[in-house]
Structure 1
Amino acid sequence: MTHTSQGSTGSAEVVNALIRNELSWEELLGLMRAPKSEIRFEETIAAWQSLVTWDEQILLPLGENLFIVAKNGRAIVKTTAGAELGPWNGNWKMQCRMIVRRTREDLLEIYPENDMTIDPSLVEIREFLCPVSGTLLDTDCVPPGFPVEVDFTPDLGTFYRDWLGKELPVTL
């Protein structure tokens, strides 16, 4: 399927193709270079909302399979599969299944044997998985024993008020 991004950078069809990874590199490059539609965020949220099976309103995507959603007047983190991982500003990774690769054998499952192979005495790889579907949500490469940290916590209130010019539909 070919999608044109020239002159239609705000079209719902292009945004749907974008989040479904259906755009060619040339189409994606054209989309990145074109002026952004003022309704791109709303189109993106609508496209993501159409892909999930649950009803909570998506407030902000955090990744391909991770969202901040509105539930019972509060903002929480939820996966595509429906796992609820706690408050939006909490450490959602602590609610995930986790694979920790800390031996050379574990690391060789994902990295080839060569002079650049990661030294397990210096780092470990942590894979955070959805507790419902097992989908990979995030990966950290950290020193052994390093605490589990959240990559970032967005300022939802400022984003909605100052960037979108809208009222945030939840209490923070």
Structure 2
Amino acid sequence: TIANSLNFQNLSKKIFADFANSWSWILIALGIAMLVSLLFLILLRFTAGILVWVLIVGVIGVIGYGIYHCYMEYTNTSTTFNQVGFNPDLSVYFHVKETWLGILIVLAVVEAILLLLLLFLRKRILIAIALIQEASKAIGHIMSALFYPLITFVLLVVCVAYWGITALYPSVFYVTILHCVSPQT
């Protein structure tokens, strides 16, 4: 248990050292994510219908490509589970024929469900698009509403930082005291 706690202490020190070294990149990435989200909201105001349909078709297309890729891997792979057996290395299972068949079946079922939902719920999707357009107009008139998630994010960062400080406090200031006791004869 002592070795595990030392490994945890070293790991936590490495994690926080990585955060200390890359905090500027993290903030830059968060700023870019905020700008992309704002751009998406602005685009949503004018092209909500197009964006929603592009997203729906994109998801269906990506899953369709996943089905195609799994089928190609399934036909090109000849290794079976009986040949591999149990192996703790998970990368071995990506060379097994039954793995690709299972993934293909799951993707085909998900694709069929999405296509049926799209077929039967297209009127509701049109209503949702109209609601998105109206909501984006409302956000356009109340731009300060966009800062609420930022405030929530800052408060969340404060909570996580407080947790990190209180979690590391005992390990940083822990001093090992060793006593050598000789047997008295």
Q: Give the alignment's TM-score, normalised by structure 2.
A: 0.31
Higher RCO (CA < 8 A, seq sep 6+) = 2
Larger Rg: 2
- Identify, as 1 or 2, the structure richer in strand: 1
